[in-house]
Structure 1
Amino acid sequence: MAKRCDITGKGPMVGHSVSHANNKTKKRFMPNLRTVRVRLEDGTSMKIKVAASTLRTMKKNSK
């Protein structure tokens, strides 16, 4: 399963973990994915993976 948002396409980012001694090790920053059930126009429902930030934006725009 890909760790990618089905709506925005957000995926893992690569960066460094930096210690107090300034040692750098590679790290992957994963998106905060949630499984959401959405209802389609024909009445059926489907599960999709959506980032939490995308859900917040969708909720804000629906008001």
Structure 2
Amino acid sequence: MATVCGTCGKGEASGNNVSHSNLKTKRTWKPNIQRVRALLDGEVKRINVCTRCLRSGKIQRAI
């Protein structure tokens, strides 16, 4: 599944895990992406959307 939101474009972020001894290893943070049926331009389509966009009402779910 894609790791990019279809409405806001939020994607994977990268950074470091930092241990107690200050050793650093690379890691990633992935957004919570859900595949939902949404109403877009009067049509029902399946799109990948982050949960923040779902919660804020940026898209309207199809029933």
How well do the aligned residues superpose, as a CA RMSD in angstroms?
A: 1.6
CA–CA separation in structure 1 for the residues paired with 2:53 and 2:17: 26
* Deviation (angstroms), 1:39: 2.7
TM-score by length of 1: 0.76
Who is 1:19 aligned against? 19
- Structure in which a larger fraction of residues adopt helix: 1
CA distance in 1, matches of 2:31, 2:50: 6
| Deviations 1:6-55, CA, capped at 9 Å, x for gaps | 000001011111112211101111111011111341xx421111011111
Distance in 2 (CA, whole Å) between partners of 1:57 and 1:35 is: 16
Q: TM-score, normalised by structure 2?
A: 0.76
Aligned to 2:30: 30
Amino-acid identity (%) = 42
Number of residue pairs matched by the alignment: 57
Find the aligned partners of 2:26 and 2:20 in 1 and give their Cα distance: 15
The letter for the 2-side match of 1:8 is C
Partner Cα distance (1:55, 1:12) in 2: 18
5+ residue gaps in structure 2? Answer: 59-63
